């Protein structure tokens, strides 16, 4: 059996929706897998540290899935096409975790329930705001309470695109969480609550002029801003060229603008703010992915 798994990137938080909102994006990691006489993995483009089956996240999750179902002996040959940049706030690890669990269940010929999914996924990452968009696709609000996960898919208008600027700057989620305070003032919590509700309803009602206010944040971006040189200038430049809303993507370092126009110009203006401080970046213009993980037998 040879299988292909395709999993989308995701952008979490969307400004005010810290640890809550996430959207799947039309940028995909692909994994090809077949049974073999030894475990081996190649990555394209080649990433040396990912090519050891003992340390490769996909392999670890995939093997954990098999092990949880009593299969310890089977060996596999894997080809991993890495299109989602790593440590850039675009859900690359969530995508690989989802791929590992889904591929494992296909190999076992076993239905995958949400409960089974989370049981394995949370051994590797605690962020349903990236895991769920990668798994289910679309725009999702999620929360994890102990072992329970509650989530809903939300409406997102097709005419909006995502201008994602990816700095040449790796930032691990762990590192970006260390700079956050342990407590926050009540007024900052209220500030975000009001905006996250406004964001969801502005999208539903297509009142796009509200997105700029709705994507403001006081819970994480003011603390993380120091990790991304010229962060606020990137945001200002995007608005200058007509972006509707702009935020840090997940824990960063990518920055995402939402717009229904001027996609290229917005991207160029955002990149310009980074190059002023000597940081190269690339820009991708993406759409919402509504399907989530896809698997096929080849």
Q: Does 12 bind ligand HSE (CB under 6 A)?
A: yes
Residue 173 sits in the site that holds ligand HSE (CB under 6 A): yes
Q: How far is the CB of 259 from ligand HSE (least distance, A)?
A: 22
When the beta carbons of 107 and 286 are compared against ligand HSE, the nearer one is 286
* Least distance between ligand HSE and beta carbon 179 (Å): 10
Q: How far apart are CA 192 and CA 182, in angstroms?
A: 16
User: Percentages helix, strand, coil for the chain, rounded to the nearest 5?
Assistant: 40, 25, 35
User: In the bound complex, which residue of the shown chain has the CB atom lying closest to ligand HSE?
Assistant: 127
**CA–CA gap between residue 173 and residue 251 (Å, rounded):** 5
Q: Give every CB contact of residue 290 below 8 A, 6+ residues apart in sequence.
A: 24, 137, 138
Over the window 17 to 56, marking each residue x when it contacts ligand HSE by CB under 6 A and - when it does not, the resulting string is -xx-------------------------------------
Q: Which residue number, 6 or 224, has a Cβ lying nearer to ligand HSE?
A: 224
When asked if residue 97 is in the footprint of ligand HSE (CB under 6 A), the reply is: no
Which residues within the stretch 129-168 sit at the binding site for ligand HSE (CB under 6 A)?
129-130
Smallest gap from Cβ 85 to ligand HSE, in A, equals 15
Residue 165's nearest CA partner among 260, 276, 81, 248 is 248
Dmax of the chain from CA atoms?
Answer: 59
Q: What torsion, rounded to 10 degrees, do the Cα atoms 183, 187, 190, 192 define?
A: -70
- Work out how close the CB of 289 gets to ligand HSE at its nearest, in angstroms, rounded to a whole number: 17
Please list every residue from 224 through 283 that binds ligand HSE, using CB under 6 A: 250-251
Considering only 12-20, 182-190, 232-240, 262-270, which stretch makes contact with ligand HSE by CB under 6 A?
Answer: 12-20
Determine if 177 is a binding residue for ligand HSE (CB under 6 A). yes
Give the orientation angle of helix 114-124 with respect to helix 92-108, to 10 degrees.
130
- Rg value, the chain, Cα: 19
3-state SS class at 154: strand
CB of 190 to ligand HSE, least distance (A): 20
Applying CB under 6 A, does 218 fall inside the site for ligand HSE?
Answer: no
Closest to 230 (Cα-Cα) out of 265, 198, 277, 186: 277
Binding site for ligand HSE (CB under 6 A): 12-13, 18-19, 127, 129-130, 173, 176-177, 220, 250-251
């Amino acid at each position: 059996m040879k299988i292909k798994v395709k999993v989308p990137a995701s952008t979490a938080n969307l400004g005010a929706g810290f640890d809550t909102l996430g959207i799947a994006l039309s940028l995909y990691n692909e994994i090809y897998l077949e049974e073999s006489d030894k475990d081996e993995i190649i990555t394209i483009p080649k990433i040396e540290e990912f090519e050891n089956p003992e340390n490769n996240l996909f392999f670890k999750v995939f093997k954990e899935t098999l092990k949880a179902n009593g299969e310890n002996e089977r060996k596999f040959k894997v080809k991993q096409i890495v299109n989602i940049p790593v440590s850039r706030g675009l859900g690359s690890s969530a995508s690989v975790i989802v791929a590992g669990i889904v591929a494992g269940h296909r190999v076992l010929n076993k239905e995958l329930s949400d409960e089974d999914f989370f049981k394995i996924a949370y051994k590797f990452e605690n962020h349903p705001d990236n895991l769920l968009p990668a798994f289910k696709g679309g725009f999702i609000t999620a929360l994890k309470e102990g072992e329970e996960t509650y989530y809903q898919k939300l409406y997102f208008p097709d005419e909006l695109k995502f201008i994602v600027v990816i700095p040449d700057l790796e930032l691990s989620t762990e590192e970006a969480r260390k700079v956050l305070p342990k407590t926050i003032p009540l007024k900052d919590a209220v500030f975000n609550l009001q905006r996250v509700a406004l964001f969801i309803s502005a999208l539903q009602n297509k009142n796009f002029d509200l997105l700029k206010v709705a994507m403001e944040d006081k819970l994480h971006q003011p603390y993380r801003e120091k990790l991304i040189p010229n962060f606020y200038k990137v945001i200002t430049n995007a608005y200058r060229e007509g972006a509707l809303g702009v935020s840090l993507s997940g824990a960063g370092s990518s920055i995402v603008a939402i717009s229904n126009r001027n996609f290229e110009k917005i991207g160029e203006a955002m990149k310009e703010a980074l190059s002023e401080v000597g940081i190269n970046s690339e820009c991708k213009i993406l759409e919402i992915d509504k399907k989530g993980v896809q698997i096929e037998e080849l």
